[in-house]
Amino acid sequence: MKAYVDEIDSPAGPLAFAVNEDGALMRLHFLKSDYGPVMEEELQDEGYAVEADEARTAGVRKELSEYVNGRRKTFDAPLAFVGSEWQKTVWMELTRIPFGETRSYGEIADNLGRPGAARAVGRANASNVLPVVVPCHRVIAADGTLGGFNGGLHLKERLLEHERNVLAAAGS
């Protein structure tokens, strides 16, 4: 198994990302994150041979660049989800949160027909390895506070601010 890695700047600092042999996005990691090992180490621990190949990462790089430059609000790149059925269901629901908007953990649980499962939504969010593209930064606590974020709240704040700024500049 091979994973192809690349990096791009973002409103939350540099991002590393990896695609699989089919071109599906399998990891996205904030390089200035507060938590977790380096993405390449995780992939190697899982048995992947890690290589740089700009041709293989070009599609995801283009979409991330468009997001960073305020020209993309949704992503079309194929995603390689690895997780439980519940996690995958939550992650797919996150992709439905519109750019620049937020939802509470409870709202996500309600949307999935699981009222009272806000904590389970939070646990699925915490295990999301595709932040930005699967926008867990758009999920907040019921009281409007930011809650947690895998890379650190400072990164979540920067991503939400970026989206607000893009919408404000567009007059939305």
Active site residues: 136
> Tokens in use for 36?
């977790």
Are the CB atoms for 151 and 110 separated by under 8 Å?
no
What's the N-to-C CA distance of the chain in angstroms? Answer: 44
> Tokens in use for 70?
């305020």
Other CB atoms within 10 A of residue 70 CB? 16
Are the CB atoms for 121 and 90 separated by under 8 Å?
yes
Task: Give the side-chain half-sphere CA count within 13 A for 114.
Answer: 14
Are the CB atoms for 7 and 153 separated by under 8 Å?
no
Amino acid residing at 151? G
Partners of 102 in the β-ladder: none
